Amino acid sequence: MKWNYFKKRSANVLWGEKSSLSFKNLNYLPRWVILTIDLTIVLISFLLSFAIINRITPNFYHVLTLEQQGLTVGLSYLMFFFIFSTYSGLIRHSTFVDLFKVAVACSSSILLLLIINYLYYFTFHSKIYLVPFLLVDLMVTFTLLFAFRFTVKGFYKLFSTINTESINVLIWGVNDNSIALAEAISISDNAKYNLKGFISSSKRMGRIKIQGKSVFKNDDELFENIAPLKIGGVIIADNTISRKEKNKIVDSLLAKGLKVFNAPKIDELDGSSNVNESIKKIQIEDLLERNPIRLSDDKINEYLRGKTILVTGGAGSIGSEIVRQISNYKPKKILVLDQAESPLYHVEIEVKKAFPEQEYDFLLADVRERHRLESIFQKNDISVVFHAAAYKHVPLIEHNPKEAINVNVLGTTHLANLAVKYEVSKFVMVSTDKAVNPTNVMGASKRCAEMYVQSLQKENHKTTFITTRFGNVLGSNGSVIPFFKKQIEEGGPVTVTHKDIIRFFMTIPEACQLVLQAGTMGKGGEIFVFDMGKPVKIMNLAERMIRLSGFEPNVDIEIKVIGLRPGEKLYEELLTDESTTLPTHHEKIMVATVDSYPYTDIHNNIEDLKQLTLGCNDESIVSKLKEIVPEFKSNNSIFEALDKN
């Protein structure tokens, strides 16, 4: 009890945030201080060594006085301390390499003194130093230098862990990266993770110890063997395992109540990175069974480099990621347009910091305002438009169909018409899988916009119109992932609309990569659909996210089924059905086989729809939308009656 009290009191004085003497605030000892301490140790060692040898034999040579001998010994050590830079490292992070440098410097110093000693002997037939004295001095000096570094390192580690909660962890995988990670954890500034060992699937690793830590075999007895260590989490550092295998590992660990962390590749960290901060709890996005996308960078570079590019909806999750990705291709200028002020400002700060050489123009504007859009096209020689601005929340749009028409349909027509007028080279529209046989106003409005863009392609020969469709995007604004995370943080319940509902998912970067790639492939008028992988059961997703957060589904956090929302489907259409798609040269991108419509017909219908939005009759608007999009059949919606009529 007294020792713990002493540690805490010491921490408050030496480590406390409010203390002017805070040891924590000393980032490192200046080099001259370390060098001074080392030379002081050399002097103390000299006197100790002299006292030891003097007890054995008082017959020292008298070529130099004691003070002169001390001075020459000190100068010898000083020279080799400079040569090997023994004072340049952080003492609290001393490693074997640092100790090796100290040992070599000490040995070199004594070797030099021995050479001088024997050169003098062969010249003047007398020695300057007793050889036993020099050998004792070597041992004493190295021991004290080692003790100094060991003490500082131990003292730092002791006080750095007092107010830090650490978790006992194992590292999954035994390879160069995992071993380097273990070393980085051991020398990190705080002890957030207390490494207890490694887990390996290799039989030959069973009896091996790495850095003094045991290696446990991944077998049926694994959890029984690690039970005495009171493990709280596992860091996955093996980057060679497949997504499928990783999912299996994560599920087994979560079932035992263990936290699971992802570790970066050590060579990807820069010098200023703290490895503890780079180890993150594994996210649901990390467990998607999807292979990395291979992009044709040359072709993307060809139509983006040196061009002026407009991204609408640029402050949204998809639009902002498009901005980030096209910034890598060094366009002349990127125009980022959005009507949401604060999100647009946040994107501006982020991308200007990440791409300081890139020219941007952040435009606060609304796609519903044609005159504002035209002024932007007049002032800029725009070559490519990525149109990601849209209203997308199904239940909300179901109750506000007028706004869906104004933004999703009329906003698209404004931009598309301006793209033709100002001879934009490419117009890439971001659409949705909900436009396939739509059951809600949102999906139908996007399908209507697709139809207009397709029909416009036939009327001009200078602008290439391309449409891209994909499903739900993990982590996007309003998607189920952040929604579930918030519910879990609040203690539940987690709400699922139906126990059997399924959805297709992809990550934001993946979706935007495919949008860029599709832009290279279109000849005009195509609707590209993306390989969304395997469908995910939302109930399973909720259960997994709860376990990833360290809770047990329906024990710690309740899962509540609340029923389908207005306009919501139980099963989204399978976009990659071979009967409705054609392959392309990219294995993850296909072309949807859909009917196209004459420009005059769709143009006149949209003009009628526009006139209806001037009133307040939602049924008239939706009825006209159903006329334009014949496959639009409402589901779980107040507009189902229109289908019967």
Please identify which residue in the block is written with the tokens 């409005």.
445
Lowest mean pLDDT among 237-241, 561-565, 576-580: 576-580
Check residue 236 and report its DSSP letter. Answer: E
Res 182 pLDDT > 60: yes
Residue in 76, 233, 121 with CA at minimum distance from that of residue 170: 233
Q: Please, which residues have CB within 8 angstroms of residue 558's CB and are 6 or more apart in sequence?
A: 492, 493, 494
Please say whether the dihedral angle defined by the alpha carbons of residues 558, 559, 563 and 564, taken in this order, is positive or negative: positive
Q: What angle do CA 479, 403, 407 make, to 5 degrees?
A: 80
Cα 536-542-545 angle, rounded to 5 deg = 105
Superfamily, domain 167-282: NAD(P)-binding Rossmann-like Domain (3.40.50.720)
User: Which of 126-140, 195-209, 436-450 is predicted least confidently?
Assistant: 195-209
Cα 467 from Cα 449, distance rounded (Å): 10
**Mean of pLDDT values over 139-154:** 82
pLDDT in tens, 22-80: 444 444 567 778 888 888 888 998 889 888 887 777 676 777 887 888 888 889 888 88
CA distance 91 to 156: 10
Confidence band of 21 (pLDDT split at 50, 70, 90): very low
For the chain, the C-alpha Rg in angstroms (whole number) is 35
Kindly tell me if the per-residue pLDDT of 471 is higher than 90.
Answer: no
In the structure, what pLDDT confidence band is assigned to residue 274 with cuts at 50, 70 and 90? Answer: low
DSSP code of residue 291: P
Average pLDDT, stretch 631-635? 90
What the block records as the tokens of 109 is: 């110093």
Does the bond joining 598 to the residue before it have cis omega, within 30 degrees of 0? no
Tokens of 281: 């709890």
pLDDT in tens, 153-164: 666 666 655 555
Task: Determine the residue type at 188.
Answer: S
Residue in the structure block whose two tokens are 């050479």: 115
How many C-alpha atoms does 156 have within 13 Å on its Cβ side?
22
Q: Are 301 and 327 in contact (CB under 8 A)?
A: no
Kindly indicate the confidence band of residue 312, based on its pLDDT and cuts at 50, 70 and 90. Answer: very high
Asked if the model's pLDDT at residue 604 lies above 80, the reply is yes
Nearest CA-CA partner of 138 in 79, 68, 73, 62: 73
534-547: b or e for each residue (b if 16 or more CB lie within 10 Å)?
Answer: eebebbebbbbbbb
Distances (CA, A) of 366 to 24, 334, 378, 426, 451: 51, 17, 16, 21, 22
359-377 burial by CB neighbour count: b if 16+ within 10 A, else e? ebebbebbbeebebbeebb
Q: Does the pLDDT at position 16 exceed 90?
A: no
Give the strand pairing for 536-537 and 502-503.
antiparallel
> How far apart, in Å, are the Cα atoms of 578 and each of 463, 573, 645?
29, 12, 34
Residue 476 identity (one-letter amino acid): S
Q: pLDDT grade, residue 13 (50/70/90)? A: very low
Catalytic residues: 434
Q: Which residue has the higher pLDDT, 420 or 208?
A: 420
Say what the pLDDT of residue 84 is.
Answer: 81
Which residues touch 53 (CB under 8 Å, ≥6 apart)?
A: 60, 130, 132, 133, 136
> Residue 605's pLDDT is what?
94
% of the chain surpassing 90 pLDDT: 27
Among 76-90, 264-278, 291-305, 337-351, name the most confident range. 337-351
Find where tokens 């949401």 sit.
340
Range of weakest confidence among 186-200, 302-316, 429-443: 186-200
Q: What is the pLDDT of residues 358-371, one digit of tens each?
A: 999 999 999 999 99
Q: Residue count of the chain, please give it.
A: 645
The CATH homologous superfamily to which domain 297-472+505-533+573-628 belongs is NAD(P)-binding Rossmann-like Domain (3.40.50.720)
User: For residue 386, what pLDDT is reported?
Assistant: 96
Sequence-ordered list of residues with C-beta below 8 angstroms from that of 42, at least 6 positions apart, any chain: 73, 74, 77, 78, 141
pLDDT digits (tens, 9 = 90+) for 570-601: 776 655 455 477 777 777 788 887 777 889 99
pLDDT tens digits, residue range 496-518? Answer: 888 888 777 777 888 888 889 88
| Interatomic CA distance for residues 624 and 229, integer angstroms | 67
Q: Collapse the DSSP code of 391 into the 3-class scheme (helix H, G, I; strand E, B; otherwise coil) and give the result.
A: coil
Q: Which residue has the higher pLDDT, 148 or 384?
A: 384
**Measured distance CA(160)–CA(151) in Å, rounded:** 14
Q: Tokens representing 502?
A: 């399924």
CA distances from 534 to 173, 287, 504 (A): 28, 12, 7
The rounded distance, in Å, linking the Cα atoms of 106 and 104 is 5
Q: In the predicted model, is pLDDT for residue 15 greater than 60? A: no
pLDDT in tens, 433-464: 888 889 999 999 999 999 999 999 888 778 99
**What pLDDT score does 23 carry?**
40
Of 408, 436, 368, 401, nearest in space to 623 by CA: 401
> Residue 160's pLDDT is what?
57
CB neighbourhood size of 488 (10 A): 20
In the numeric block, which tokens belong to residue 513?
């990569």
Task: Supply the mean pLDDT for the chain.
Answer: 81
Range 161-168 average pLDDT = 64
Is residue 282 predicted with pLDDT exceeding 80?
A: no
Task: Quote the pLDDT of residue 397.
Answer: 93
Q: Please, where in the chain does CATH 3.40.50.720 lie?
A: 167-282, 297-472+505-533+573-628
Tell me: pLDDT of 6 over 50.
Answer: no
In the chain, the amino acid numbered 530 is: F
